[in-house]
Structure 1
C-alpha cells in the first residue's frame, strides 16, 4: 500500500510530474500504469493545450488562477509555457494582473505557497524555517504588503508579489525554482476593508511598527543567514521609509537589494540611456524631472547621480540635473518637513506647481513614479512637447490602471513626438499612419539577470556598481530596430539571452570589485550557463 501511494505521489509532485508525457518505460518503472491515459504526449503539445485553455478564459484573473494551478501540479510545464510565450504570459503572472490577484488574493486562495512570518512567530523564525522542504534556497523575495505596486496596504494578500517575482527569476534567467523562497512578513494591516473581510487570510490586527517591527525583520535576516547563508534577499513593496531604512541597514551586511529602489532605477536608467539615441541629446546634458518623490523615484535619481559622475560630473553637479515634483509642487531648498531622501535634490530655486516647474526647469525627460493615474495630463504632455523636439515620457507606475498616462495619450497629445515608456505593458499604437511599439520599463529586464550573476559567483554584497553595469548592458542590447519603432527596450522574447548577458557583466564587475565568493572560472559564460534551469522534460 505504501509503495502504491508513493507511485501515485509522483503525479502530485510538481517538480517531477510530467503528466501524460511520461514514457511507457517510465510508467512501468514508476508504477504509473493505469493512472494515465494511453497517449504519450510531447511537452510541446502540452504547451499548446495550456495556451488554448488560457485563451479561452474571458478574464485575466481567470488566466492567472489557471497558471497558478499549473505551477502547482507541473512546474516544468509551467515554465516551458512562460518561456515560450513570455510576452503573453508575463502580464498574467506579474504586472498588471498580479495587481488584481494581490487585491483578491484571499478570495482566490487555493493552496499555500511560500513562508509566512507573523508577530506571534517572534523567537521561532529560525525553527520554523526548518519546516521548509528545500535545503538549498538561494533567492528570497520578501514583502510586508504595505505598499503593493500602486495599490497600497494589502497585508498578507501581498504574497502574490513574491510568488510572481520568483516565477520571473526562473522564467527570465533560469534560477532553479527549488532554490526560490517567497516570504510574507505578515505584521498586520491598516486596511480596514481587509480587517473586516471574513475571507482575509492574514494576521488580523493593525500593523506592527517601530522597534518591534525592526526586531522581527532582524530575526528573519539572522535566521536566513544561519539556515541559507548563500541566499540573496530581495526586499519588495515596502513603504518608502521602511524600504530605505532596511536597505541602508542590510546592504553592506548581507547579500540583498530592494527592487523598487534599485531594480527600478537600473531599468529606468537603461531606458534614458537608450532615449539619447532618439533625441540625440548626450546623457551628460540631460535634465530629468520626477513626478513623485518616493522610494522608486529617489532610487532612480540616486543611480543616475552615479551615472552622471561616470560621465565626469561632480556629485553636486550631477544632482543639479535631477529635479523632483511631489504633491506640494517642486521640491526646493527651504521647504519645511522634507524627508531625508529628498534633501539632496532640494535645489535653491523658486517654488512652482507641476506645470510651471516644467516651464521653468525645461526637463528633457519626465519620469512618473506616483501611483496616481492620469497625472500626466494633456497639458503636461503639451508643455513637455513645447520645449522638446522629442520629449521623453516615462509613466512607470504599476499596474496599468495606475499609469500616469497611456501610450496612446502620450503619442496623441505630443503629435507623435513623444519617446514613451511605461511600467506596465501597452500595445502597438497607430498615430497618423505611423506605428509605435512602446517599450515596457519592466524590472524583469534587470533583477533576474543580476540575481543570476550574483548567485553564480556567490557575491557577498550587491553595491550600486552592479546595477549601473546592468543598466549599461541592457541599454547596449537595445537594437536599431527597437529604436526605429520607438521602443527603449528589447523585445521580451529575448529576455533569457538578455538576462545571461547582464549576469555575465554583473559577475565580471563583482570580480573587479573583489566581492565574489568563489575563484573566477576560466570560462565565466559557460559557468553561469551551467547554473540555468531548463524546464524541458
Structure 2
C-alpha cells in the first residue's frame, strides 16, 4: 500500500557545499533535525509527530510508529522491570536522562515511590561507589584543586547561563559510606534530579558540581578505574582558599541569588562553612539543615500520634555529627517558638552520644568539639548506649551515626518499658546502615513504637495490622525549600526557613497516615508537599521582608505553580488526519 507524503511545511535550512571538481552546489542541511535527535532537551523519541519528522528532516530516521508520551512511560517501566539489579535500573534511568530529559522527568515525577529509591537513596550509594565503571557522559562540572585561580573560567564552560541552583560536594562523606572522592558526583546529580521531579525546578537552571581535592580512600587511590585526582586530600589554607574562590566565582558567573547547596562535606568542614557563608551567600547545608527539618517534621507528627508536647520528651541521639547536631539545634528552636521555652533550657532535654560516649561537661576522654558543647550536660561519663538508655530513660531515640543495628532488641525493649509510645527514628542511610529495621522496632516494642527511618522499608503486617513505615527522607524538604528560595529571591537562608518547612510538612500528615504508622505524607504526594512548603516559605519571606521578588504575589501558591517546569511534550502529539498513512502504521504494533 502506498501513501501520499506530506506537503512540505516550510523548508529545512539550506547549506552551501563547495566541491573541488563540481564547483558550488546547494544541499539541504540536516543539522537542525539531527540536533533534535541528539539533544536530550529536545529529543522526544518516537513521540515526534509525522509533521515534525518531515519538517525537521528526520523522517525515516525513526521507526514509523508514533507514540504518546504516556506510551513511552509505560515502555520505560517495562524496561526497568527487566532488570532485577537496582544498580542496572539506576544506569537505565541515567541513560534515559542523557537521551530524553522530558521523558525522564515525567517517568520519575509520576512514579516517585518506585523510582526515587533508584535515582537516589539507597541505590545512589552503590552508584557512587562504582561511578568509575559506569561514567559515560558529563552531567555536571568537575573542578579540581589545580583549577585554583581559574574557577570562573571552568564555570564559563557550562553551556547554561540561567543557573539558579547548584548542589556541590567534595565527596568526603558520602551518605554513610565515607570518602568517595570525585565518585561522589552521583549525589549532586541525584539531588538536582529531585529538584526537578519533586519541585518542578527547571533542569536547565540546575548545576551539579564536584570539587576534587583528592581522596583519603586508599582503595580508590589504588583502583585503576578511579576517575579523580590520585592523591590524598588537600587540606588547610589551600583548601579554604579554593572554596572561597569557588563561592566568589559562582556569584560572578550567575549572580548573588544563585542557591548553593552544600552536600556531603566532612563534619569538620560542613559546620564552619555553614557559619562562614550563610550570611554572605544564598546557601545551606542539606546534611545539617535539611536533615534537621525533615526529622523535626517527623517529631512534630509524632506529637500528634502520642498526644504530647515537645517539652514532655527527653531526646537521646546516637551520633553527634552534622545530622544529629542540626536536628538538635532545630528542635531547641522549635521548643522556643512553639512552647516559649528558651533555647538554652530546651537544650537541657537533648542528650547526645558520640563515638567516645555520652557528651557531658568536662568529659575526661576525647574532649568535646565546639559544635557539640551546647549539648554537654552535667553527668558522669558513660560509654555504652545500652547503659545510657537505661540511665536517661529517653522518650525519643534518634539514630544518625550510620551504625547498623545499634538499636538492638534490648534497647528497643527498654524504650517500651518506660514509655507508653516510644519514638524511634533510625535515620541513617543507605538502608544497610539503619539503626534498626521497622519490623524489628515494632516486634521488640510489641507494636508500641512510633517509628521513622531515613531509608525506605517495605510495608509489613504486624499482629494483623498493616504497617507502612514513614521515611524521613530529606527529599521532603530540600526541593520545596529551594523552590521557595528561588521563587522569592531570598538572599540568605535562616533556620526559621527550615523550621517553617518542618511545620508545613508536619501539618500535611493526616490521621489516616498516623493510623498506618506513617509520620510523613505518602511519598507519591511529595511534589504537592514541595509546593506547599515553598508557599509557606514565601509567606515567611514576605512577612520577614527577606524576599526580593516584587511585587509580592497575592496568591503565593498560585505564583509558585506558575513557575514550574513542564515535562510534557510540546507540538502535535497525534497523527493529523490529512496524512494518508496506511492504517496499520497508525495502530500499535501489538495489533499488527
Alignment partner, residue 152 of structure 2: 126
Q: Which residue of the other structure, out of 335, 342, 354, is the alignment partner of 2:372?
A: 342
In 2, Cα distance between the equivalents of 1:354 and 1:309?
Answer: 28
* 1:123-522 alignment, distance < 5 Å: 123-229=149-255, 230-310=257-337, 311-336=339-364, 337-352=367-382, 353-519=384-550, 520-522=552-554
Q: Which residue of the other structure, out of 107, 112, 124, is the alignment partner of 1:86?
A: 112
| SS of match in other structure, 2:289 | helix
1:351 to partner: Cα distance: 2.2
In 1, Cα distance between the equivalents of 2:238 and 2:483?
Answer: 33
In 1, Cα distance between the equivalents of 2:220 and 2:528?
Answer: 41
1:356 to partner: Cα distance: 2.0
In 1, Cα distance between the equivalents of 2:531 and 2:285?
Answer: 21
1:456 to partner: Cα distance: 0.3
| SS of match in other structure, 1:469 | helix
1:187 to partner: Cα distance: 0.5
1:327 to partner: Cα distance: 2.0
In 2, Cα distance between the equivalents of 1:168 and 1:428?
Answer: 23
In 1, Cα distance between the equivalents of 2:555 and 2:301?
Answer: 30
**Contact 2:32–2:56 at 8 Å: present in 1 too?**
no
**Contact 2:108–2:197 at 8 Å: present in 1 too?**
yes
Larger radius of gyration: 2
In 2, Cα distance between the equivalents of 1:283 and 1:345?
Answer: 17
Give a deviation string over 1:281-311, Cα, whole Å, max 9, x none.
2122221110001011000001111101111
Bigger drift between 407-416 and 251-260 goes to 407-416
Alignment partner, residue 113 of structure 1: 139
Flag as ranges the 4+ runs of structure 1 deviating above 6 A. none
| SS of match in other structure, 1:107 | helix
Give a deviation string over 1:389-431, Cα, whole Å, max 9, x none.
1111100001001111111111111111111110000011212
In 1, Cα distance between the equivalents of 2:285 and 2:398?
Answer: 19
Alignment partner, residue 582 of structure 2: none
In 2, Cα distance between the equivalents of 1:289 and 1:391?
Answer: 12
In 1, Cα distance between the equivalents of 2:285 and 2:477?
Answer: 12
Q: Which residue of the other structure, out of 530, 534, 537, is the alignment partner of 2:562?
A: 530
1:379 to partner: Cα distance: 1.1
| SS of match in other structure, 2:38 | coil
1:87 to partner: Cα distance: 0.2
| SS of match in other structure, 1:71 | helix
RMSD, aligned α-carbons: 1.0
In 2, Cα distance between the equivalents of 1:513 and 1:303?
Answer: 19
1:478 to partner: Cα distance: 0.4
1:83 to partner: Cα distance: 0.9
Matched, 1:9 2:41: no
In 1, Cα distance between the equivalents of 2:357 and 2:245?
Answer: 40
In 1, Cα distance between the equivalents of 2:70 and 2:311?
Answer: 48
**Contact 2:413–2:444 at 8 Å: present in 1 too?**
yes
* 1:8-87 alignment, distance < 5 Å: 8-87=34-113
**Contact 2:487–2:549 at 8 Å: present in 1 too?**
no
1:9 to partner: Cα distance: 2.0
In 2, Cα distance between the equivalents of 1:326 and 1:429?
Answer: 32
Count of residue pairs the alignment pairs up: 537
| SS of match in other structure, 2:452 | strand
Matched, 1:101 2:127: yes
1:450 to partner: Cα distance: 0.6
In 2, Cα distance between the equivalents of 1:375 and 1:359?
Answer: 15
1:226 to partner: Cα distance: 0.7
> What stretches of structure 1 of length at least 5 have no aligned partner?
none
| SS of match in other structure, 1:410 | helix
1:326 to partner: Cα distance: 1.5
1:6 to partner: Cα distance: 3.1
| SS of match in other structure, 1:341 | coil
In 1, Cα distance between the equivalents of 2:466 and 2:197?
Answer: 29
| SS of match in other structure, 1:26 | helix
In 1, Cα distance between the equivalents of 2:130 and 2:111?
Answer: 25
In 2, Cα distance between the equivalents of 1:327 and 1:220?
Answer: 33
